[in-house]
Structures are given as C-alpha cells and as structure tokens.
Amino acid sequence: MVAGDGSGSILWQTVDKREAYRGHIFTVFEKTSRGPDGRQGTFSVLESRDWAVVVPLVRSEKGGSFLMVRQYRHGADAISLEFPGGVIEPDEAPIEAAQRELAEETGWVSKDVTQVADVFPNPAIQSNHFHIFLALDPTPAVDRNLDEHEIVDAVLVPASEVRNMMGEGEYRHALMATALFMAEKALLKRGIRIDL
C-alpha cells in the first residue's frame, strides 16, 4: 500500500533557531519548526560551507584510471581512498574550488572540468551542498600545495578497480560512491565509455 498525500511535500516553517555549538568545521543549530499540520518540533542542524569534489579521469590506450588521494580520516579512524576535494572558500565558485583542490592535492590540472551534480550530503541534519565535478584527461602540471594537517598520497587507480571496490575496504566513503555514480552518468551522456 502506498500512502500519499500526508503531505510530505510541504515545507515546514522555521519558528526559532539558536546556535548550540560552533566548531572549526561546522556549527550546530537547534531549529524549531512547525509542520504543515501544525505540529512543532526541535531539530539539530549542522551548518558548514559547501564542499566540492572532482572525479579526474585519465584515459589511455589501456583504458581509464581515476586520479585519487589516499589519506587518514579522523572520524572513521581509517585510511580512505577518495577523489580530490574539500571545502569551498568564501567568494569562491564551486568549479574554482574543484580545480584548486585537484591541483593542491595531486599537482595535476585539467582543461575539461564540468559540474555533474549538486547534492545534499545528508539532508536530515546538514544544510550544505556537495558539488561534484568531472575532470577529463588531467596532467601533472604544478607542485602540490597541501593544507597544514594533510598527509596525502596521490595515486592512479584503474577505473575497473574503483568501480568494483567501491563500498569496501579503503573505498567506503559514501560521498565518493555518489561522486563516482554521478561522474559515470555524465560520461555516458557525453558518449564516453571507459573500461570498467
């Protein structure tokens, strides 16, 4: 049985919002909202700047490889293999952030960078956006410029390995699975097939 119009498609109205915690990366707000049927509740919302990630595809006669970064992640206490990305700086366009992160973390640049998606990382509790870009045929061009606490290895990984391992081992970052899915969708729209 399908239950439809409850109505989950009507926005709730904000009644009150107060800051509960401010940190380096995000701020937590307690937001009181009123639903379309009049009921009211208080919800925790994390606010932070938007993020950008870039999926760099390096094509060759042998097939495609993704340029990725391997790094330790404090929240998971684990090593993670990811696409380059990070926080979008104030007054920086998402595409500029994607290009900057690609260059800073890998030393590679691409002349063909396009946005393929703008999604919410977790709309239940977060207000920010996750901008996903595809970079075709990047090449090594500049010195890496890592942040103070970044210890990152840039690696080329066969596209087939990334696709087959996503969700396992070092490939368990859910946003990277989303980025891969959206990049592959964009590649298909452009008629680009890679050996997966």
Per residue of the chain (196 residues), give pLDDT as tens: 666 676 778 899 999 999 999 999 899 999 999 999 999 999 999 999 999 999 999 998 888 999 999 999 999 999 999 999 999 999 999 999 999 999 999 999 999 999 999 999 999 999 999 999 999 999 999 999 988 888 999 999 999 999 999 999 999 999 999 999 999 999 999 998 776 5
Q: What are phi and psi of 85, to 5 degrees?
A: 180, 175
Architecture of domain 51-189: Alpha-Beta Complex (3.90)
* pTM for the predicted model, two decimal places: 0.92
Residue 20 φ/ψ region, left for φ over 0, alpha for ψ in the -120 to 50 degree band, beta for the rest: alpha
Distance separating alpha carbons of residues 56 and 86, to the nearest angstrom: 14
Report yes or no: 40 and 32 within 8 Å, Cβ to Cβ: yes
The domain ranges of the chain are 13-47, 51-189
